[in-house]
Copies of this chain bind each other. A is one copy, B any other.
């Protein structure tokens, strides 16, 4: 309907992809494992991230970038975990992009980190199109949202590496249909890895943290492999 805007957006996306590729190389060189958390507003990204930052410390060195249209509430909340946290305020923009990350990280020593988490703007549409150079894109789906979200917002679920079903302590109260949710996730992203968590009760958190450690360790090994081959 508006071909001009589509062309301009494609230009913006191409530029984003190039910068995301640079960021990915930089993250890899620094040995930091980067996780991009995407979901609707209110799916529990901040609560999950707070529990994750606390759970990985002090064993691991962790930090987070947090995207919101307005306020630095999330950064303040996450900062209480002891992790280094920086808020990115997007104004009216419905997603984070590689340039925002690049600017926010300008004065950070990435080699001093084991994990960097990026909490994207709460939105099931726009963040799907912006690669941030992350190693893992995790999409959250809370039990309170409805099991059909993957079918109605297929792009973001299709582009995710892992799905976190959050707020499982509310599964009974909301009448959550687990089989239907899993079926719908597999409909748009066959074989997607699924983890069930509750940041409030802690259920599933040990498994999630263990999986993060495993993925980061595997990435470190593959990096060493690459360097060995290059010598």
Contact = CB atoms under 8 A, between A and B. Distances in A.
Interface centre among A70, A153, A167, A170 (most CB of B within 10 A): A153
A152 B70 CA distance: 5
Nearest to A144: B144
Interface string A18-59: 000000000000000000000011110010000000000000
How many interface residues does chain A have, given as a range? 35 or more
A167 B144 contact: yes
Interface stretch (A104-112, A117-125, A206-214, A223-231): A117-125
B170 A69 contact: no
15 contacts: A1-B99, A5-B5, A5-B12, A40-B42, A40-B122, A41-B124, A41-B145, A41-B152, A42-B42, A42-B144, A70-B153, A92-B155, A125-B126, A142-B144, A144-B174
The 4 closest A-B pairs by CB, nearest first: A42-B145, A94-B125, A144-B144, A40-B41
Interface of A: 1-2, 4-5, 8-9, 12, 40-43, 46, 68-71, 73-74, 92, 94, 99, 121-126, 129, 142, 144-146, 148-149, 151-155, 167, 170, 173-174
